[in-house]
Amino acid sequence: MRPAFSVIFLTTLIGAGQGLFLALYTGQLYAFFDLLPAQDSRSFYAAGSAVSLAFLGGGLIASFFHLGHPERAWRSAAQWRTSWLSREVIVLPAFMGMVLLYGGAHWFGWNTPLFELPGGRHVDPTLILGAVATLLCFMLFVCTAMIYACLRFLQEWHTPLTVINYTLLGGASGFVLASAFSAIAAPQLPGFYAGWAIILTALAFLGRTASLVRNARLRPKSSTRTAIGIKHPHIVQKSPGAMGGSFNTREFFHGKSRAFMRAIKPAFLLTVFVIPLTLLAMGMANPSMLGAALLSATFILQYLGLLAERWFFFAEAKHPQNLYYQCVS
Amino acid sequence: MTQLALIIDLNVCVGCSACVTSCKEWNTSGPAGPLSDRNPYDADPTGTFFNRVQTFEVGEFPQTETVHFPKSCLHCEDPPCVPVCPTGASYKRKEDGIVLVDYDKCIGCKYCSWACPYGAREIDEQQKVMKKCTLCVDRIYSTTLPEADRRPSCVMACPTSARLFGDIHDPDSVVSRAIRENGGYALMPEWGTQPANHYLPRRKTSITIHKDQLVRADNPLKIDGKLPKPAKQEPTLDDVTSW
């Protein structure tokens, strides 16, 4: 497949935004159970929600560049019964709305306790809004990944690992972002977030490696024989039915050399997993290093790596229609 | 239930591409707007087509056979491109099984083209909507065209009648009989899309003739041998007698 940059930016930006929101809410839950010091509503939760919304909004804007008719984008909410893309189109704005409400509730101090839990803890509206947003956040991960995982003949994508990896990579990216954000807004928390970022990045590394190993061992179900229905071991295409290429030759081939494909894999493995893990581990070992500079650099580096990772995710998939376009006449 | 479909006979297709040009001509001039091209008369010409004829070489020299392979939307009975469409622009008609795109609803996200294993859908670079074979829905239900012309234009154009058109759910139709009697098959059956269009395979046409069939072995009265044999100068038997 030819990777579309609009989709690469959409999936990586909303992944980081979703992860950041999850990090904020995790922090609030920890504080709720007195495991972490409580943070300022405005400068931490509301500001953090704004950063999260900026990433989500950036992703949403990027997605419009993928459309031939962006002015008709509203129609795409229609087929939510069957289409994962349609479901994503509904869940993304819903999630953004809930993050806005969550951030707004923190900003305006809507923390009048609604009811009391047995332990004497007071549940306020922000906690409820955050829980709903968390649910939507995971639904969004599933919707985004299922857009690709539901296509059964794109065998590289048709696996639960796709959903797992989208969730873990988004979470890892968001928690690294949260650690960088907290280095500015909540000086007690970078260590907490960096710890979670290490766990999520390590899990994402496992998941992504598993999918790389799986995809390297895949045997394509379709062949030229099933494509044209002639059972002969030796079939060569002589003409694809077009001289100057067509949509089919542009959309489904990434057009990069084998050397490039070989190089990008270690490149993203290093920048998404190895280097960020090393930097975060160094920071954990020596907390004085866990400053905004190191953590921001880690986030930016990992984000750039995720762009490469997502590029590779799309480029790696071999569409069966390519069997009809094996030569240029 | 009706399921209209094309049957393509690879045994007689000669790869002339008349179906391609005829399809393009009809569908670029219709009320749905043109099938846009880029650089049509220049270097790197490219454009939107519903139908293309591809060529494959089967076997190794000298035992090779050239197979011309017309490829268009197969109007699957379980089309994977339809449920993924977020707007409902892609749909399968209940009444005749044709898979169509509503160009006014399509947002050009190309997701349906990813969901089609056959590469049957092509985006129109100018109109920015997805296009595909309509089985000439504007011809076959036309009320103004002569009755004989109410067939897809590729079928009309084919000089060797390699393309048949009809309802594959009607067991007595020409297309059902062709599938049944000539080993019609579907493409990429492994994905369970149940394409409505079928292909008829290459067939070897031959009869066996034994030597004794070349002369009249059964001539029990030996009449052939007793016929008068006129001399070379004399008029032939045909000239003088009516037998």
User: For tokens 């003409």, what's the residue?
Assistant: A239
- CB atoms under 10 Å from CB of B126, counted, come to 15
Q: Is residue A68 part of a domain?
A: yes
Give the domain extent around A9: 5-220+240-325
pLDDT in tens, B83-120: 999 999 999 999 999 999 999 999 999 999 999 999 99
Q: Is residue A233 part of a domain?
A: no
Instruction: Check: CB of residue A272 under 8 Å from CB of residue A305.
Output: yes
Q: Is residue A173 part of a domain?
A: yes
| pLDDT number for residue B226 | 59
Residues of B in contact with A89 (CB under 8 A): 86
Q: Where do runs of H (alpha helix) occur along chain A?
A: 5-32, 47-64, 84-107, 125-149, 160-185, 190-216, 224-228, 247-251, 258-268, 275-285, 292-316
Q: Is residue A211 part of a domain?
A: yes
Residue B123, phi-psi category: left (phi > 0), alpha (psi -120 to 50), beta (remainder): beta
Give dist(CA B189, CA A258) in Å, integer. Answer: 31
Q: Looking at the predicted structure, is the pLDDT value of residue B72 above 80? A: yes
Q: Is residue A230 part of a domain?
A: no
Domain count, chain A: 1
Out of A110-124, A191-205, B37-51, B131-145, pick the least confident. Answer: A110-124
Please write down the HEC assignment for all residues of B105-156: CCCCCCHHHHCCCCCCCEEECCCCEEECCCCCHHHHCCCCCCHHHCCCHHHH
Rounded to two decimals, the pTM is 0.90
Q: Is residue A231 part of a domain?
A: no
ipTM above 0.85, yes or no: yes
Residue B228, Cβ density class (10 Å: 0-12 exposed, 13-18 middle, ≥19 buried): exposed
DSSP code for A273: I
Q: Does residue B236 or residue A304 have the better pLDDT?
A: A304
Residues of chain A with pLDDT under 50: none
**What distance in Å separates residue A242's CA from the closest CA in chain B?**
7
Q: Do A69 and B128 touch (CB under 8 A)?
A: yes
> Closest residue of B to A149, CA-based?
B115
- CB atoms under 10 Å from CB of A290, counted, come to 25
Return phi, psi of residue B129, to 5°: -130, 160
Note if the bond before B62 is cis, omega within 30 degrees: yes
Of B52, B125, B185, the CB nearest to A229: B185
Q: Is residue A103 part of a domain?
A: yes
Pairing of strands B4-9, B37-38: unpaired
Q: What is the CATH number of the domain that holds A294?
A: 1.20.1630.10
CA angle B125-B128-B129, nearest 5°?
115
**What distance in Å separates residue A134's CA from the closest CA in chain B?**
24
pLDDT in tens, B181-215: 999 999 999 999 999 999 999 998 888 888 767 76
- CB atoms under 10 Å from CB of A49, counted, come to 27
Q: Is residue A300 part of a domain?
A: yes
> Closest residue of B to A323, CA-based?
B118
Q: Percent of chain B scored above 70 by pLDDT?
A: 91
Give dist(CA B56, CA B91) in Å, integer. Answer: 32
